[in-house]
Structure 1
Amino acid sequence: MPTIPNKLTAIRLFAGPAIVLWFVFQELVARPHAMGRGWWLMSSEMAVGLEWAMVIAYTTICFTDWFDGRIARAFPNQGSAWGVVWDPVADKVWVGTVALLVVFGGPVFSWDLEYFWWIVLLEVLFITTIIARELLVAYWRKISTEEIPVKYCGKVKTTAQMIAFGFLLARGGPISMQFVSAEAFGWIGTMGLAVATALTVISLYQYAKDSAVGKEFLARYPILNFGF
């Protein structure tokens, strides 16, 4: 019988492809209507409502990762072998998909914004670092004979990165215009991504120092042993 954590994991697993379709629809149809230049039969109020619905859905999906872990730990009968395997896969699919939308979605679709090339390069660098860390820690957990617990710094990193992604996804849309401006949302998101990247590096070092496979990795590449 499917458990609640498994259902939440499944939602997050399929949310990645779904948010791509929703994002494209928002950028090509709903957002132009909200900005008063649409061509399809849709009111600007409906377009703004659809973008708010996307923000709410994004926030809800981000919270599912926290909820399914809490439920599985609090109620042992809710844990399952399926969840152990697919929960980290769902995390990687979700984070990777949103990261790709952040990097390519803004410059490709928001043609009316001025995107500085160095900001795009910074975002690519930050997101590449985050994804590389996720894959490396996942590999360490797979080959390790000991349990590698989640670090508090890693949890803060995840929170910072999803908040940053949210601002970057919403930049250039009616929501950003209602509150501040598209440029302000972009800068907030980029700075949040920089914070998340710094926490990514720190948490990776903590994982490396506190696990056998991590210590072996640092011994093999001593140049990465920063000593903090």
Structure 2
Amino acid sequence: MLTSLPNILTLSRIAVIPVIVALFFFPGKWSAWTALGLYAAACITDWFDGYLARIWREESLIGKFLDPIADKLLVAAVLMMLTAVSKIDGLAIIPAIIILLREVMVSGLREFLAGLRISVPVSQLAKWKTTIQMVAIGWLIVGADGPEGWPVTLIGEIGLWLAAALTLLTGWDYLRAGLRHMLNPQG
């Protein structure tokens, strides 16, 4: 099933990450806008691959495995690059750290719960968190290279703080579910 279109879209999301990262090393507006275009395309495939897999009945174990990994790799790589090139700095680094730490925690919890054959479904709030996070990161990729007079970086930072707040809420939901199964394995 690796050659199904939904899985190819997921793999393309992983494959584009090094290109997006490389674009951060080039000066000029063209590199920021190109990185944004590739990042936006990758974000769209995040929705589209799952949608196609469901309507075409091509859901696969490899897709279920790769999709969250692709999301985390994309977000982590871009957040690290935004920090590395100082597109986010100062206090704006805090929500980036919160987001990255939550991703590590949730990955560990999911792995632990999978060992117990327990699946925690993605909540609607977590989907909103992901959307806000992706949009905020897009604004930050462009940053100062955005349209003149627009507070692009500020909008991105506000969105990142909002995503971090939702990250804490949804992270708590996952942690609570994990603790419930750790403290009461039979129930």
TM-score by length of 1: 0.71
Q: Relative contact order (alpha carbons < 8 A, sep ≥ 6): 1 or 2 greater?
A: 2
Are the counterparts in 2 of residues 154 and 199 from structure 1 also a CA contact under 8 Å?
Answer: yes
Match of 2:128 in 1: 156
Q: How does 1:1-228 map to 2 (within 5 A)?
A: 2-25=3-26, 27=27, 31=28, 47=30, 51-76=32-57, 78-106=58-86, 120-144=89-113, 145-173=117-145, 175-177=146-148, 180-181=149-150, 184-209=151-176, 211=177, 213-215=178-180
> Alpha carbons of 1:125 and 1:51: their partners in 2 closer, same or farther (altered >3 Å)?
closer
Give the count of matched residue pairs: 179
Give deviations 1:114-135, integer Å, cap 9, x for gaps.
Answer: xxxxx72322211111111112
Paired letter, 2:24:
F
TM-score by length of 2: 0.85
% identical aligned pairs? 32
Are the counterparts in 1 of residues 20 and 38 from structure 2 also a CA contact under 8 Å?
Answer: no
| CA–CA distance in structure 2, aligned partners of residues 138 and 75 of structure 1 | 28
Match of 1:225 in 2: none
| CA–CA distance in structure 2, aligned partners of residues 8 and 73 of structure 1 | 14
| CA–CA distance in structure 1, aligned partners of residues 180 and 17 of structure 2 | 34
| CA–CA distance in structure 2, aligned partners of residues 214 and 62 of structure 1 | 31
| CA–CA distance in structure 2, aligned partners of residues 86 and 165 of structure 1 | 21
Are the counterparts in 1 of residues 21 and 77 from structure 2 also a CA contact under 8 Å?
Answer: yes
Give deviations 1:154-191, integer Å, cap 9, x for gaps.
Answer: 11111111111111111121x332xx24xx11111111
Unpaired runs of 5+ residues, structure 1, are 35-46, 108-118, 220-228
Structure number with larger C-alpha Rg: 1
Paired letter, 2:130:
T
Q: CA deviation at 1:208?
A: 3.0
Between 1:92-101 and 1:64-73, the stretch displaced more is 64-73
Unpaired runs of 5+ residues, structure 2, are none
Paired letter, 1:157:
K
> Alpha carbons of 1:214 and 1:63: their partners in 2 closer, same or farther (altered >3 Å)?
farther
Question: Where do 4+ consecutive residues of structure 1 move more than 6 Å?
Answer: none
